[in-house]
Chain A
Amino acid sequence: MTAEYSAGSKLEKIFKSGQKAVTGECGPPRGTDVEHFKKKAAFLKGNVDAVNVTDNQTAVVRFCSMAAAKLLLEMGQEPVMQMVTRDMNRIGLQSNILGAAALGIKNLLCLTGDHQSFGDNPQAKNVHDMDSIMLAHTLKNMRDEGKMVSGTECQGRPRMFIGAAANPFADPQEFRVVRMGKKIAAGVQFIQTQCIYNMERWRKFMEMANDMGLTEKCFIMAGITPLKSVGMANYMKKFVPGLDVPDSYITRLKGVPKDKVAAEGIKIAVEQIQECLAMKGVAGIHLMAIEWEDHVPEIVKAAGLLPRPVVEAD
């Protein structure tokens, strides 16, 4: 049914059926260790609807997201291929969009990417010919108008569901929803947010999104990262820009015996998921259990999100 779906990915179909979607994340390795990648991805199978594969996240060299996405397809899992505008100009980006579509990848998450000063090649040059919003616009134009940035006709259009990220916790606070609206105006169909810890601020963000009518135009997924330890919570609070972990969570983690901290972290995550899903306009959960993929089944189950709908991509 090409007509009703813009891309026909499993993710798009689940959203459009009115069900809450769940996505996970699986970072490609810093080398060619395919087995490790597959092992992590296997924990996600059947527990999430699609799996994000990151594109050199935190500006650290890893194997490329397109290859990782293809591996997921071979494993019978739907990828959300992430693509950052840091490393390639419009020629490279469009070429990769076409290549990814040709491989059967149906979801693309358009990102600007972390600055290279955070990664393992701080002496690298960055490109930034485009930003995430322009990338989303590019894909939309290629897919819906059959036109590349240059105006050249695409011989075969890339059918991909267009995603982007949003950080409700960065500043200026009152502009975050507006900026998400710009992404949506540029063609973004689903949003995965930065990890949410400050539920109050998140609630305000969603209220604004509802008021602006954005939740009618776009599927917004709440980003959840379970806190594995007190150390991780403190690190996130102190060092990850724009990420505020409220003290109440840290107090909770500190209040349980050492061997129960992980379980408490999971409990918090599950509560957050349920609270998010009860909010108007939240269309799903993006679960980023970084190097904790083996706990995803447990979290998704405890949150009452199993079984996942059985849907075939086009």
Chain B
Amino acid sequence: MVIAESKPLAEILDMIKDFKKIVVAGCKGCVTVCCAGGEKEVAILASELRIARKAAGNELEVKEYTCERQCDPEYIEPLDDLVADADAVLSIACSVGPQYVAARYPYLRVYPGLNTTSIGGAVEHGVWTEFCQACGSCIIGNFGGLCPITRCAKQLLNGPCGGSSEGICEVGKGSIPCIWQLIYDRLKNLGELHKLTEVQLYKNWSTSRDGGLRTTTREELKQ
């Protein structure tokens, strides 16, 4: 799923400092699962903003709404009435959401309340890690099902580099496992270490963001 986290309150307050009425719009998709932008977080953020602005002697009217999904025009529709007299929308969906909101309301200001950090998942309670960078042509089948593009700091396809020490990556001050050690261990378990003796040559990055904006089209589903 898409992982996101809240921007610092001060940054959000600064973004909306000129407004009197805003809508905080959440999303029931990924950001609900990673506890960053669901109904609960919408309510918390809305009251934090009201309190902060009240304390500053500049009251803010905040309406709350959490879309089924913000990356879908039909689920944004219910915002129509709420935004009618609002100065801005503060979206706490992943950063796809505010762009859908912007597309629907050409004359309305939209701000992101979250930082979208990665495509990943929870690794323990309250900790989420990145697993995929959406390079557009998945090659993890060569690496025991683990992604060196995302999880190796140097995106090595022929790792591990000389900085791999006792399973830990040289980057990250000891906090990040060396994915190449994990790939090695897994292929060893699978009896496939010979795969690591093959030289991996150039990756085609044109399917990644390097190739320009990516659009996925499924002709059979188009209307």
Binding site for B on A (CB under 8 A): 86, 90, 112-115, 117, 126, 128-134, 137, 149, 165-167, 169-172, 175, 178-179, 181-182, 185-186, 194, 241-242
Contact A171 B154 (CB under 8 A): no
In whole angstroms, how far apart are the Cα atoms of A259 and B126 in the complex?
Answer: 54
In whole angstroms, how far apart are the Cα atoms of A64 and B58 in the complex?
Answer: 55
Which chain B positions have C-beta within 8 A of A134? 157-158, 200-202
In whole angstroms, how far apart are the Cα atoms of A165 and B161 in the complex?
Answer: 10
Contact B164 A171 (CB under 8 A): yes
Contact B165 A185 (CB under 8 A): no
Q: List 16 A-B contacts (CB under 8 A).
A: A112-B156, A113-B154, A114-B163, A117-B172, A126-B154, A128-B155, A131-B154, A132-B158, A133-B158, A134-B201, A175-B160, A178-B197, A185-B199, A241-B164, A242-B162, A242-B164
* Other contacts beyond A172-B160, A242-B165: 10, CB < 8 A: A86-B154, A114-B163, A115-B153, A128-B154, A129-B202, A131-B157, A170-B162, A186-B199, A241-B170, A242-B162
In whole angstroms, how far apart are the Cα atoms of A86 and B164 in the complex?
Answer: 17
In whole angstroms, how far apart are the Cα atoms of A114 and B159 in the complex?
Answer: 14
Separation in Å of the A256 CB from the closest CB of chain B?
Answer: 30
Q: Among residues 12 to 35 in chain B, which have CB atoms less than 8 Å away from a CB atom of chain A?
A: none
Contact B184 A172 (CB under 8 A): yes
Main secondary structure on chain B at its contact with chain A?
loop
In whole angstroms, how far apart are the Cα atoms of A130 and B170 in the complex?
Answer: 19
Q: Among residues 173 to 223 in chain B, which have CB atoms less than 8 Å away from a CB atom of chain A?
A: 178, 181, 184, 196-197, 199-203, 205
Contact A171 B160 (CB under 8 A): yes
Which chain A positions have C-beta within 8 A of B164? 170-172, 241-242
Contact B202 A130 (CB under 8 A): yes
Contact (A115, B162) CB under 8 Å given A134-B202, A172-B184? no
In whole angstroms, how far apart are the Cα atoms of A55 and B181 in the complex?
Answer: 27
Contact A171 B157 (CB under 8 A): no
Contact with A along B107-141 (1 / 0, CB 8 A): 00000000000000000000000000000000000
| B171 on interface, CB distance cutoff 8 Å | yes
In whole angstroms, how far apart are the Cα atoms of A165 and B200 in the complex?
Answer: 18
Q: In this complex, which of A131, A178, A185, A194 has the most chain B Cβ atoms within 10 angstroms of its Cβ?
A: A131
Contact A181 B170 (CB under 8 A): no
- Residue count of chain B within 8 Å CB distance of chain A: 29
Contact B158 A182 (CB under 8 A): yes
Partner of A170, one of B155, B160, B203: B160
Separation in Å of the A233 CB from the closest CB of chain B?
Answer: 18
| B11 on interface, CB distance cutoff 8 Å | no
Which chain B positions have C-beta within 8 A of A137? 199, 201
Which chain B positions have C-beta within 8 A of A86? 154
Separation in Å of the A290 CB from the closest CB of chain B?
Answer: 17
Separation in Å of the A214 CB from the closest CB of chain B?
Answer: 12
Which chain A positions have C-beta within 8 A of B80? none
Query: In chain A, what residue has the closest Cβ to B170?
Result: A241
Contact (A90, B202) CB under 8 Å given A131-B158, A181-B197? yes
In whole angstroms, how far apart are the Cα atoms of A131 and B171 in the complex?
Answer: 17
Contact B196 A178 (CB under 8 A): yes
In whole angstroms, how far apart are the Cα atoms of A132 and B157 in the complex?
Answer: 10
In whole angstroms, how far apart are the Cα atoms of A67 and B144 in the complex?
Answer: 42
Which chain A positions have C-beta within 8 A of B163? 114-115, 167, 170, 241-242
Separation in Å of the A212 CB from the closest CB of chain B?
Answer: 10
| B166 on interface, CB distance cutoff 8 Å | yes
In whole angstroms, how far apart are the Cα atoms of A119 and B108 in the complex?
Answer: 42
In whole angstroms, how far apart are the Cα atoms of A182 and B199 in the complex?
Answer: 6
Partner of B154, one of A90, A115, A175, A178: A115
In whole angstroms, how far apart are the Cα atoms of A112 and B180 in the complex?
Answer: 15
Query: In chain A, what residue has the closest Cβ to B197?
Result: A178
Separation in Å of the B10 CB from the closest CB of chain A?
Answer: 21
Which chain A positions have C-beta within 8 A of B197? 178, 181-182
In whole angstroms, how far apart are the Cα atoms of A90 and B162 in the complex?
Answer: 22
Which chain B positions have C-beta within 8 A of A194? 162
Which chain A positions have C-beta within 8 A of B202? 90, 129-130, 134, 149
In whole angstroms, how far apart are the Cα atoms of A133 and B155 in the complex?
Answer: 13
In whole angstroms, how far apart are the Cα atoms of A144 and B73 in the complex?
Answer: 56
Which chain A positions have C-beta within 8 A of B203? 129
Which chain A positions have C-beta within 8 A of B171? 115, 117
Separation in Å of the B12 CB from the closest CB of chain A?
Answer: 23
In whole angstroms, how far apart are the Cα atoms of A131 and B172 in the complex?
Answer: 20
Contact A167 B181 (CB under 8 A): no
Partner of B181, one of A113, A130, A131, A171: A171
Contact B162 A165 (CB under 8 A): yes
In whole angstroms, how far apart are the Cα atoms of A132 and B162 in the complex?
Answer: 12
Which chain B positions have C-beta within 8 A of A114? 163
